[in-house]
Structure 1
């Protein structure tokens, strides 16, 4: 029997939940008023989701607490698991050299810079890290921010305006769409990785806009694939548009030495106007950055709200990211191990009949299972067997595209990959035997 719900079971569940939704919470003193938080957009749908989990006696797969360092292995609920739920791609989070760099920064600078950089938060680590990031991307300069999400929001929101247009891949990260929303620019999505659609949308929307931006990711975290960067560069040039590439999941992952999608596809990085990246994945810190021409970086440094009005990057985080980049530069064999592991896991899963979508087998391998209910159940069964993954269900993806996402590390062993594939097969089989009609 399928791990999802039959049509009859779904109708029964919806009927129960509708009764809950329609029952007024009269016990709240603000019920029915403008102060009633339940009137917030999406609040009722969130309540329905929680009620559905309760009715189906399913534990939420979200907010899983790791009890220590989350590397290739981790501890969840007191049990060691093989961990495919973290972005510690090269195993640098916890590397002794990275830890010591962070500790030394705390000893010298303290934990916080205590101010924005434009006032009194500037530290020498910021300049060193930014110079290293700029060199890494073949750019003239770079600017760091305290959050990867905030980087896209503040930069896109500051660069673009109501008379502009942003044409972007439909699978682009939320931080990018939030930045476009803040800017007031027209937002035009195109079908994921469809370069013909991108060209049509950019051509059709460019004439009416003052400025235009083509916005893609170097490595998409939902599908594990990449865009055709050379075509993106050509398209942006032909339509007099900026090209911005979000490399959050590309740095340290793509290319022979981990320099990202440009190196992987042998494209001159100068063709990209704005490189964005995060410090929280391969570079084992927290924050984000933009690498670009010196003139725009200097302008952003002095005017972008996320820089001017935000505290500077914490010294230990800047030091950890800089040390991680040094290790990455010195030890490209970590990238080779990661890529070999990603390809090996993808092939193991495909050999067992799993749908891994468009994954290129670099570091992100989705397993598309179908219904959201079934996917959550499989994730729970897999965790019980000692393997942690990330779960993506409706409405983040269409209902029949719910998936598990495996984020691979250079530190995973062949035994880890074999065991993960075998235990996923076990978990799916076990859920297939569960009576999905039993709603309690």
Structure 2
């Protein structure tokens, strides 16, 4: 049986012993802290150190936190080397587009870099209202509210609208931000098997009468697996059981649907079948932040009561302007969506033909290559980086050991020769050969 980073229990224990000895042998180490002040015993820190030590023992360079020296699009410059880049959410190639940069610069010239305080406390900028109106129109919603962080959007919204008497039912692969929001709310939280609407229906039937409100939460496009739910089924369940349906569109906007409108376009569902549309500004919209598009009473409540909005600085004007211009370009240039989807479909087909496990990926923007052990994933990522291909390994404990993977984010900027060269390099590395350097 394997544990952490693909190591046996014995190997893991040996690594922990080695860490303990190293701490004891460090020259000039300060005297030990009292238990309450010893930060070295913080929960999770020992596991992080163990994984780092395991990587060093296996001769694997840490693949995380590498500095990009320019715009991270289909290509990027990392540590002075030009690389093919599959580790950024720049799905439509808008980050770095001169029109988006010009909109952000104009907002800086007009409003400065920061909103400087909470929008409730000190007022807002016209670009905030313009962005929110455009997003509300995109979803056919009454209103929209933007937050400074996508993660904080889910945490503060779910934490605000539900309480201990309520029920939250979510996909077992839901994003951490939803789980944290549920924890903050104190509501009863139940996870159902991934994309299993029938299991969700059974849970709602069994639990709904015991709770005040019920919130059913799914993602429009799952970032670890690249698949999508049957949105019509989940919408019908929410109506049948008097529940609210919330859809996290972080990776769906600009990726799903013929024109990139998102999961409702992809599934042929009217947008008003969903009660709460949540999304982020940091992916297709090439900015930073999150948003909620919904009926007016909910948005009014959040605007005046959600802690992550009321007690937080407002979205920076240049980010709001960049997101607004990105949304305009998305709507005006659907060829970008078509190119992204064609690239993802080609990459998915090539990877499967080469014998790789790509799970349930729909080949729309995200394609995982599931390798099993964290060691195998880290080694292949290192081999690819040496060949000029940047892709991040997703390792234990982010995913369960046995499902470690390389996660490829496709972009409209990638070309067919680049995609073919990448899959060829991936297959060579798997088979023990050194991949050819990708030009």
Q: What TM-score do you get using the length of structure 1 for normalisation?
A: 0.94
Deviation of the 1:54 alpha carbon: 1.9
Partner of 1:437: none
Partner of 1:148: 150
Between the aligned partners of 2:327 and 2:73, the Cα distance in structure 1 is 18
- Segments of 4+ moved more than 6 angstroms: 4-7
Q: Which residue of 2 aligns with 1:263?
A: 265
Residue 99 (structure 1) aligns with: 101
Q: CA RMSD in A?
A: 1.9
Report the CA distance between 1:76 and its aligned residue: 1.0
Residue equivalent to 1:19: 17
- Taking the TM superposition and a 5 Å limit, the aligned residue runs for 1:160-179 are 160-179=162-181
After TM superposition, the structure 1 = structure 2 runs for residues 239-278 of structure 1, keeping only pairs within 5 Å, are 239-278=241-280
Is the 1:378–1:431 Cα contact (8 Å) retained in structure 2?
A: no
Q: CA deviation at 1:29?
A: 3.5
Q: Deviations 1:60-110 (Å, cap 9, x if unpaired)?
A: 222122111000011111111111100000000011110100000000000
Q: 5 Å matches for 1:224-303?
A: 224-303=226-305
Tell me, in whole angstroms, the C-alpha distance in 1 between the residues paired with 2:221 and 2:283: 13
CA distance in 2, matches of 1:195, 1:432: 44
User: Is contact 2:428-2:434 (8 Å) kept?
Assistant: no
Paired with 1:29 and 1:187, the residues of 2 have a C-alpha distance of: 44
Distance 1:431 1:396 in 2: 28
Please state how far the C-alpha of 1:185 moved relative to its aligned partner: 0.9
Is this contact kept in 2: 1:274–1:290, CA < 8 A? yes
**Deviation of residue 432 (structure 1)?**
10
Number of residue pairs matched? Answer: 429
> Residues 114 and 121 of structure 1 are in contact (CA less than 8 Å); yes or no, is this contact kept in structure 2?
no
Alpha-carbon distance in structure 2 between the residues aligned to 1:46 and 1:5: 10
Residue pairs, 1:389-428, within 5 angstroms: 389-428=391-430
Contact 1:105–1:319 under 8 Å retained in 2 = yes
Give the whole-Å Cα distance in 2 for the aligned partners of 1:385 and 1:342.
Answer: 21
> TM-score under structure 2 normalisation?
0.94
- What are the residue-to-residue correspondences of 1:7-406 with 2, within 5 Å? 10=8, 13-20=11-18, 22-23=20-21, 25=23, 27-406=29-408
Cα displacement (A) at 1:21: 5.1
Hey, what's the Cα distance between the residues in 1 that align with 2:322 and 2:308? 21
Is the 1:5–1:373 contact (alpha carbons within 8 Å) kept by the matching residues of 2? no
Could you tell me whether the CA contact under 8 Å between 2:155 and 2:180 is conserved in 1?
Answer: yes
CA shift, 1:25, in A, is 4.9
The 10-residue stretch of structure 1 (202-211 or 292-301) with the greater mean CA deviation from structure 2 = 202-211
Which SS does the other structure have where 1:245 is aligned? strand
Provide structure 2 residue ranges, at least 5 long, that are not aligned to the other structure. none
Instruction: Say if 1:148 and 1:277, in contact at 8 Å, map to a contact too.
Output: yes
